[in-house]
Structure 1
């Protein structure tokens, strides 16, 4: 069996990935999603960086999108495309969840800026965050997105068509700390998401995004494509954030399930927008990119929702590809050698180098035998579910995540 499994594995490089994906779908994906089973491991981030470099140089990819704040990502994109600000500022302000401190993320942004130096705009690499401005403890307020969208439309559309003035918008938004109270995640009564002002803001956001769509022919000629893309991003983010805050204030049993679903819906809309200018390499947790329903426990309750990857796949079909990453060990987190009857245990017998595994061929080798699902000894690591082999286009197996 070990020899047969070895025959299903290849080097992890752009050529091997594209050969596998083209064999499955016959085309190059516009969105190539590379998942990870845990966050913050430099070994996995270094592998992502090298794969992106190869996709840029060999396959014409020009954008990378990571699981980070979509509005903050504009700061990084400005830096890598135009040299706005400094690398330190881009890492501090442009990448959320504290991930700007990771050496591999810094190296990615540094390399992208160096690559873009002296290249014409059409050949420059682009950076995007595709998550909403959300943290596990809460969400940002809608001020930045709403006021930016209102400002853009005020410049290019007749003021009489706007649903409110900038002053009214500011009054309805109120103090920012009303929206960002972290206690609201556990106590719906602390959220302002269903206050009358929030309801009015949801209608205003809907009117502003509709106005943006209605005037697209004019805006395409009056402004640059980047300006219009950003306005659309502001619209998606404002409506998504207001929906998220609405459900933070909800007291029904559906509250948590709706929150995780709204987040992935926001992710999916951002990914679909990026696909329009594709091709794009997407990097995030496996649970956000897989085709099947995602599951987790939160507040002691089991939750299920359709991931961003599932939503995108439903729209793009073969133009979406998902390559999961599976890990052998994360010893500094107590994740030791995997049991031999698990998928990770079978792949752990392969030589040390990372491998790209063909799930279809692996299923053939396994036949009626199905590996057990590995139990996670650490909450921050999610093993690969062997039941989902058929829904995965490829598996990158990394034997050991090493601590620097």
Structure 2
């Protein structure tokens, strides 16, 4: 194991060396609301793009919202000139995950970087998540209305099937326990029709295909959610992994991707208690599909600080105090051993016991109650198996949300809010 104090961008060199030949680098976060994670993740990603030739950034966000950002950073003539304007259009709660000043700064850099390159070499920005059923349906209507109006019937059938549930799409999940209420056939038909057109080249055709995949994934997700347990989580992470696969294919031979998502998604589930609960995640699936040498998983963590989160699902975001990590946790051990900021690269035979043995590892979602630290927010983890590297910030500070429009949100994910 190698430990490097962080102070300058060059201090990431050991981690960049580990990622030099990887096809996928996943960069995590222990919260969805800490400035330091987003800032350091942005620094790492800029170097991966500039020095490693990575092709795109894929985030734990909705495809339609992120597609507007993608069009801005790649200088589409019909898109916003300033990426911040695209980020401020995010509507689904919790908007601050991506509509924040830290992401806006990174996207502004990415637009400037892309502006110096020919269109085929520009680096994209895409969403991996499964939630945007209605937004993706609307995007499909817009695309078919322009490109293939004769195929609108399949989209209309799918829309009519979901329409009785309106924005309360979770009610579809409850109704789907009765076979006659399911929309599965309609969305499969829609996906098949869109795939026919996606065979033609072009960003719009690919985006329409991905929106149809989102509708299909969302239908499965809401049906699984009713049953409780891990299945809806697994549907969601399989969808994100499949989207990543499609992006790598879309960008062509030699394509390389950077993923931004919560530690709970990118850290291999088999090194936690998630596996015993029947759960898989994005990092595990990527390792299985591409091999451990081609996938680098990087976790993030801190001992204390502040965070942007909400006390209840759907409520306004607040700046909250993150108390010191509890005794016996990864974070308490790192607080005792490491400087204020450091990067760890795992590997070799001389790893200490706190890297190889299970210790509690903190995870904070978009819903957070600091008083629950005594019993919640921690997951048993073998750190050196879950990640290939780890970025440490002893004290992390809250990020700066943009004034986004959002108020709508989905039901809480399993486990809560990550």
Distance apart, 1:392 and its partner CA: 1.9
Distance apart, 1:208 and its partner CA: 3.4
Cα distance change of structure 1 residues 54 and 386 upon mapping to structure 2, 3 Å threshold: same
Aligned residues: 363
In structure 1, distance between residues paired with 2:356 and 2:288: 30
Asked if residue 208 in structure 1 is aligned to residue 190 in structure 2, the reply is yes
Asked if residue 272 in structure 1 is aligned to residue 245 in structure 2, the reply is yes
Please list the CA deviations of residues 149-172 of structure 1 after superposition, one character each: whole Å capped at 9, or x if unmatched.
7557736xxx5xx59455545544
Check conservation: 1:8, 1:361, Cα contact below 8 A: no
- Which TM-score applies when normalising by structure 1? 0.76
Matching residue of 1:235: 212
Larger deviation, residues 32-41 vs 97-106: 97-106
Unaligned runs of 5+ in 1: 23-27, 297-301
Find 1:17's aligned residue among 12, 15, 18: 15
Find 2:321's aligned residue among 333, 352, 358: 333
Unaligned runs of 5+ in 2: 307-319, 364-369, 400-418
- Which TM-score applies when normalising by structure 2? 0.74
Matching residue of 1:299: none
Matching residue of 2:221: 244
Three-state SS of the structure 1 residue aligned to 2:188 is helix
Please list the CA deviations of residues 57-105 of structure 1 after superposition, one character each: whole Å capped at 9, or x if unmatched.
1111231122111221111111111251244431122475212442211
Cα distance change of structure 1 residues 59 and 379 upon mapping to structure 2, 3 Å threshold: farther
Matching residue of 1:154: 148
Distance apart, 1:235 and its partner CA: 2.2
Cα distance change of structure 1 residues 382 and 63 upon mapping to structure 2, 3 Å threshold: farther
In structure 2, distance between residues paired with 1:37 and 1:243: 28
Three-state SS of the structure 2 residue aligned to 1:106 is helix
Matching residue of 1:394: 389
Larger deviation, residues 367-376 vs 118-127: 367-376
Three-state SS of the structure 2 residue aligned to 1:266 is helix
In structure 2, distance between residues paired with 1:315 and 1:238: 24
Matching residue of 1:25: none
Check conservation: 2:30, 2:362, Cα contact below 8 A: no
Three-state SS of the structure 2 residue aligned to 1:333 is strand
Check conservation: 1:326, 1:344, Cα contact below 8 A: yes
Asked if residue 354 in structure 1 is aligned to residue 365 in structure 2, the reply is no
Cα distance change of structure 1 residues 64 and 166 upon mapping to structure 2, 3 Å threshold: closer
Please list the CA deviations of residues 111-139 of structure 1 after superposition, one character each: whole Å capped at 9, or x if unmatched.
222222353112322111211226xxxx7
Greater CA radius of gyration, 1 or 2?
Answer: 1
Distance apart, 1:280 and its partner CA: 1.4
Distance apart, 1:295 and its partner CA: 6.0
Matches within 5 A, 1:187-202: 191-193=174-176, 199=182, 201-202=183-184
Matches within 5 A, 1:231-310: 231-248=208-225, 250=226, 254-276=227-249, 277=251, 278-293=255-270, 304-310=278-284
RMSD: 3.6
